[in-house]
């Protein structure tokens, strides 16, 4: 007998190993317990259903706001750095006296 045939025979014989007690009282008791627990299970209220919908939506909005705030902060920081760098470069490239003359020269 090859392996497949062996396994098929074992499968045929193993079916009787199922646990299926011939006990109607037991099956009825189990079904009754399930029914009892299922009947007692609280049904969700409208508020709970809405919360179920809105919770993930609120989480997404919050995440988006955090991201936006961080991004805005990053952009603002970059802008300040650029302006400061520009001012520094203008001051560094200009002669100070020349600058004074430029400012006060016309007034003389």
Closer residue to another protein (CB): 26 or 87: 26
Query: If binding is defined by CB under 8 A, does position 35 make contact with another protein?
Result: yes
Site for another protein in 8-27 (CB under 8 A): 9-11, 13-22, 26-27
- The separation between CA 48 and the C-alpha centre of its own chain, rounded to angstroms, equals 20
Query: If binding is defined by CB under 8 A, does position 6 make contact with another protein?
Result: yes
Question: Minimum distance from CB of 59 to another protein (Å)?
Answer: 20
Query: What's the token pair of residue 89?
Result: 């470069």
CA distance 1 to 12: 15
CA distance 15 to 18: 6
CA distance 15 to 20: 11
Instruction: State the residues that interact with another protein by CB under 8 A.
Output: 1-3, 5-7, 9-11, 13-22, 26-27, 30-31, 33-35, 37-39, 41, 43
């Amino acid at each position: 007998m090859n392996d497949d045939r062996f396994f098929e025979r074992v499968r045929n014989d193993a079916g009787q190993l199922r646990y299926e007690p011939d006990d109607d009282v037991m099956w009825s008791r189990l079904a009754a317990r399930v029914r009892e627990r299922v009947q007692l299970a609280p049904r969700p209220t409208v508020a709970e259903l809405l919360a179920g919908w809105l919770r993930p939506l609120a989480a997404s909005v919050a995440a988006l706001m955090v991201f936006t705030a961080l991004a805005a902060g990053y952009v603002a920081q970059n802008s300040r750095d650029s302006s400061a760098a520009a001012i520094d470069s203008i001051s560094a490239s200009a002669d100070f006296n020349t600058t004074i003359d430029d400012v006060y020269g016309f007034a003389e």
